[in-house]
Amino acid sequence: MSNRFRDLLRERHPNAQRWKAEGRGIVGTFCIYTPEEVLYAAGLIPVRVMGINEPPSRSDTHLQPFYCPLSRSCLDQALRGDYAYLDGLVTAYSCDTYRGIFQLWQRHAPLPYSYLLGMPSRVDLPEAHVLLVEEMAEWVTSLERAFQRPISPESLRQAIRTYNTNRALSRELYRLRQEEAPRLTGTEALEAILAGMVCPKEQHNALLELFLREVSDRLRPSSQLPRLMLVGSELDNPEIVGLIEAAGAMVVADDLCTGSRALWNDCPEGEADPLSSLASRYLNLIPCPTKYPIEGRYQHLLRLIEQFRVQGVVILQQMFCHPHELEYPYLQKVLRERQVPFVCIELDATYSAEEIQTQAEELIERID
């Protein structure tokens, strides 16, 4: 079953082209703060634009040196035409780098539709909720006009239910990893979560239900390995998790944009205004370093460490990811105060498997 998730990731472009040929619009997204439920309610399939483990060949001529390798990779694929099948590109404002990539994509590889959704940075104020509802209402009007598809309150409620189901099933994967000897690896878990970002949610829900039954039927491993947690922004390559686990550990938890960060809170159901429900959910995500206040993030990390009995933390730092780089001293302080061993691995467009495994081994030795 895990091979099915791997295949969805590997074949995400041909799959999306096939769905488009069947009449489903395909819209690329960048960030977990993008309310995908709105796209789903319009009958569109949101697909996450992911980086690849190749040095960029075209994007460097358009970018300053301080752009992170992930953003370079995304733009490079756009310039090569890898995402030319997209009917649109939508992202919520998070970091300045992705806003720049969005604008460069518009200019040099234009798509039929593009939209930058305003997302407050200060997320705890009542005004933030009012603003986000207004922003989403304007976006809904824009989508309806561009795709000639009505987005009704009921279609939004149905989308919310589908996405809530998906998050609940995904959380069950994490619950299974709380076991003393987990029956699925961190690599398998990340593949399963990433696959849901490049296929229709109803399909992913069905696959998750099958996978959860399969994992529950597995025998428990006889040996227990050191328990690690990954912390960082995006990780689009499950092979990196495999390298860390091959060093002699089990990745049991994460706080990643492409991992669990967007899974912990559901969207309220039953409210009169579904856009208000969506605003409540997205303003109450576990905050990334682009949002304020940030204290809830550290409290969440400490809860994960306790609940998953984490013995060591691997910080995966995208080179030149300024929000996460600025956060690093505070994150170090939190982990040191709790006496949690950690290592920081910096990721570039390409990586050295040997170097990643060596750094993971050094962390494991400190745990032992």
- Local confidence pLDDT in tens for the 368 residues of the chain: 678 999 999 999 999 999 999 999 999 999 999 999 999 999 999 999 999 988 888 998 999 888 999 999 999 999 999 999 999 999 999 889 999 999 999 999 999 999 999 999 999 999 999 999 999 999 999 999 999 999 999 999 999 999 999 999 999 999 999 999 999 999 999 999 999 999 999 999 999 999 999 999 999 888 889 999 999 999 999 999 999 999 999 999 999 999 999 999 999 998 899 999 999 999 999 999 999 998 899 999 999 999 999 999 999 999 999 999 999 999 999 999 999 999 999 998 777 889 999 999 999 999 96
CATH of residue 41: 3.40.50.11890
Name the domain count of the chain.
2
Structure tokens that stand for 233 in this block: 């922004």
Q: What's the CA gap between 214 and 315, in Å, rounded?
A: 30
Instruction: With beta carbons less than 8 A apart as the criterion, state whether 97 and 126 touch.
Output: no
Asked whether the whole model's pTM tops 0.75, one would answer: yes
Q: Are residues 121 and 163 in the same domain?
A: no
Q: What's the CA gap between 50 and 186, in Å, rounded?
A: 19
Residue 256 has a CB neighbour count (10 Å cut-off) of: 22
Structure tokens that stand for 361 in this block: 């081994």
At which of 127, 152, 177 does a domain end?
Answer: 152
Q: Are residues 196 and 94 in the same domain?
A: no
Range of the domain at 346: 155-367
Helices and strands, number each (H, E), in the chain: 14, 8
Instruction: With beta carbons less than 8 A apart as the criterion, state whether 264 and 286 touch.
Output: yes
CA distances from 360 to 250, 312, 349, 367 (A): 11, 10, 19, 11
CATH of residue 360: 3.40.50.11900
Q: What's the CA gap between 166 and 237, in Å, rounded?
A: 21
Alpha helical stretches, state H, 95-200: 96-108, 126-147, 153-176, 186-195
Q: Are residues 92 and 227 in the same domain?
A: no
Q: Are residues 169 and 206 in the same domain?
A: yes
